[in-house]
Structure formats: structure tokens, C-alpha cells
A and B are shown apart, each in its own frame.
Chain A
Amino acid sequence: MCLGIPGRLVEFLDSHEHLARVDVNGVGRIINIGLLEDEVLGPGDWVLIHVGFAMSKIDEEEARRALEGLQLMGQAYDEELTALAGSDITLAWDGGD
């Protein structure tokens, strides 16, 4: 829960305000970027993700370092990635439509 996972912003979802597609460890995920709405953010930028929300914008070097650190954590990181893979927050934004 406390692990911040770096993801690279791929695109904003036109259909959903505050949602964006990010690349996390080579896999596309949808996350909420509402907490960064005061930031200048665009495709290619890196963000630190906590429980499905981008909490801070980081640079590429920081993302690389954070990933190295996470890979060292082994199981805890794997579990967090598995959990993220099982998450589907788009539906919460749709209201189940």
C-alpha cells in the first residue's frame, strides 16, 4: 500500500476526466491523475502511483532509481504489481455503466 510505483503517462482518456493510461513495468494501466491537476503533465512524463492515484510527478532518473529499489523489494513489489494488474478503476468512474 505504501509502495509508490513509477508509471509513464501514455495518454489522457478523453472519455474520462482525471483518468489516464500509464505504462507500468511494460503493462498499460488506467490511473487517476486528479491530484496532479495543478501540474503541467503530458504523455511521456513519469508519475509515482499510490493505490491507483498519481501522487507526484517525477523525472526519468528518479523513476529509474525508484524502479531499481522496488525490484530489490522482490515479493512486496510483485504483489503490488499483481494487485495493480487486477485493478479496474475505469468502471468506478463510469458508475458501472
Chain B
Amino acid sequence: MRFVDEYRDPAAARTLVARINELAGARSYKFMEVCGGHTHTIYRHGIEHVLPDTVELVHGPGCPVCVIPMGRVDDAIAVAEQPGVIFTSFGDMMRVPGGSGNLLEAKARGADVRFVYSPLDALRLATEHPDREVVFFAVGFETTAPSTAITLLRARELGVTNFRVFCNHVTIVPPIRAILESPDLRLDGFLGPGHVSTVVGNRPYRFVPETYGKPLVTTGFEPLDILQAIAMLLVQIRDGRCEVENQYTRVVRDEGNPRALAVLAEVFELRPHFEWRGLGFISQSALRLRPEFAAFDAELHYDIPNVRVADPKACQCGEVLKGVIKPWECKVFGTACTPETPIGTCMVSSEGACAAYYNFGRLHREVAVTLGRPA
């Protein structure tokens, strides 16, 4: 129980862990946490090591940086290297490797690549540099997509003509469905994402129990949230129920944020398909600009290579993202692939399973091994 002492309310944590032990009994359970923020919490607080051996957490594809395929990074670099372009990106994407290097390397070669905090900063750059073309590398789930949408609405309102968006926004539901369809994995339930659900709400997850017979509990980012959600999943299974439940009622509402959903619908439409790192092509899983916003669409404006690049052979991010292997089971984990020199995307973002495990997990695992428990 050593790690329990690091929790905000150790007494509550102990009670929850005892409850989980009692509920789990002798059967084995495998739950997937979809969101990278949850993966971070789980490793940061060593949650895997306070759980009984029979309750396994599997890390899912909910890290938007991690799921961008290498070819899209190459496309981004190709746009960044166009004459006259100021290419803007969130900091997280700068070190994500494509088939031919990353954005930081493109910057070192002379491309004008700038890091921005908000898409509105990219729009500001466009208004400040009317003689240049400013492109924003839009990534993220429904958590960040409404911000891009509002920025585009604002750009149109201002009549800005030198601002474009290279849209790589993805949606949370299709990868969950893809994982449920995958024969590789047998899951007993899901920890539903927190912040994404503030936008989409809990309703879009209903297909998980209704079509696939798996319970899902939307949860927050504290260790106590995760433990409580695991207990709620186990209670559902014990009672023979299978539902979408909300542990994170402090922030998430069933209907989500209707205003955010409305601006998403106004600005974006679903792509017929989009490639995900590790999961391959998934139908209707990503967003592109509606035809009304074509003037702002970088994909229509620039000659984009659009070449599919296979992941490096050594990299097993795909299997990590599907939860088929644990980060440390990858051949290059911690040796050829580290947060300083990442080969795979999961090692780049602080919410990627490999980076989280690299930063926090090894110690916990070593302690567990020392204590004679398999990690």
C-alpha cells in the first residue's frame, strides 16, 4: 500500500482498494482507459500496483498526438516548407517523427515553424503578417476541435485571406468501436474519457453497452476518480448491469456542451476515412473543413504529398495504442526509443503510454518485482 500514501485522501483510497479487491474476487478483469490523461494518472500514482493482480488496466488510443500517422507529419512538413508559409503547431506535435524527420528539424532547415498555445494565436499571426500565409496544424479530439472551429468562424468574420488550417482533428467514438471490433483484445469494460466528454457528453458511448455488451464509466483524472470508476465497473458486472455511468459528474454532463457541438457541426464534416497510427484506416473517424470553409483548408490550397508511411519496423506503438502490449514489452522501449529521442509517438507526448511509463512506471515496476509480484 506504499503508493496509497501519496494519494490526496489515503483513507478513501484504501477503502476503494479494499472494495475493488472484494468485488473482483477470483475472476480476472481487463479494463481499458481510453484517455491519455488517465494513462498519465495511472502511472504517476502507480495505480496498477495497488490493484489486485486480477484487475488489469489496458491503455487505449486517447492521445491525439500519439495517433497521428507518420505520413501526416510529412504532409505537415511539406506545407511548412512552402515559400512564404508560417507554420504553427501546438508544442506537443513539434517532436513527433514523420518518415523524414519532425517539425523541429524542418525549422532547423529554415522552415518558419512556430509553436502556438491556441489556434487564435495562429489567427493573430495571420493578421499581423498579411504578406505571409499562416497555417495552423490542427490536432486533437473534441477537446480542442471546437477551438479550431471558433477560430475559423472568426477568421471568416474578419475576412482574413491568409489563414489556413491543416485539419487532423479526430473523434473519440470510432476508435473505441474499432477496438471493440478488434479480435486481439478481450475487454470487460471501459474507463471513459474525461475532458472529451465535457464536449460530447455521455450519450455517444451508449453503443458500448448496447451493441457490444461492455460497461463504460466516464471518469476524472485523480487517482481516487480512477479507483472509484473501477469499483463502479465491477459493481455493474456483479449486478449483471451493463450501462454508461458517469463518475465525473463534477465536470461531465450527459448532454456535453451543446454550444461546442453546434460549432463543430457548423465548421466540420466527417471524413470518409482517416488513418490512425496503429489502428489503420477507420471510417468516419476524423474531421475536415466543410466546403463553405474551403478557402481556409490547407489541404485544398497546397500540394500535399499524402503518402502513407509505414511505422518503423522496430516501433510497436500500434500494439501499445490497441492495448495489445504494455509499453515495456516493446523491443525499443527505453533503449533506442526514449522521450529525448522518440521513435514512436507514444514516447513523445507526456500523455503517451510509453512516455508516462518511462517517466513514472519503471520505478513502480521494479518495486513490484522486488516484492515478488509480476508487474
Binding site for B on A (CB under 8 A): 1-4, 32, 34-38, 48, 50-53, 55-56, 58-59, 61-62, 65-66, 68-69, 72-73, 75-76, 79, 83-84, 86-89, 91-96
Contact = CB atoms under 8 A, between A and B. Distances in A.
Contact of A1 (B144, B198, B199, B258): B144
A2 B64 contact: yes
B257 A53 contact: no
A68 B258 contact: no
Contacts of B40: 73
Given A34-B150, A35-B263, A38-B259, A48 B91 contact: no
In this complex, the member of B37, B123, B124, B160 whose beta carbon has the largest number of chain A beta carbons within 10 angstroms is B124
Interface in B212-271: 221-222, 250-251, 257-260, 263
Contact of B251 (A56, A93, A94): A56
A81 B150 CA distance: 22
B115 A89 contact: no
B364 interface: no
B118 A52 contact: yes
Chain B's interface size range is 35 or more
Give 7 closest A-B pairs by Cβ, nearest first.
A52-B118, A96-B127, A89-B120, A87-B117, A83-B117, A92-B124, A76-B350
A41 to B, nearest CB: 12
In this complex, the member of A2, A52, A72 whose beta carbon has the largest number of chain B beta carbons within 10 angstroms is A2
B151 interface: yes
B250 A92 contact: no
B116 interface: yes
Given A76-B350, A96-B130, 4 more contacts: A1-B65, A36-B257, A51-B118, A95-B127
A73 to B, nearest CB: 7
B328 interface: no
B147 interface: yes
B318 interface: no
A91 B139 contact: no
Interface in B64-91: 64-65, 90-91
30 contacts: A1-B90, A1-B91, A1-B140, A32-B120, A32-B147, A35-B150, A36-B259, A50-B143, A50-B144, A51-B147, A52-B121, A53-B146, A53-B150, A55-B143, A55-B199, A56-B251, A58-B250, A58-B251, A69-B41, A73-B40, A79-B91, A83-B117, A87-B118, A88-B121, A89-B121, A91-B127, A91-B128, A92-B154, A93-B120, A96-B127
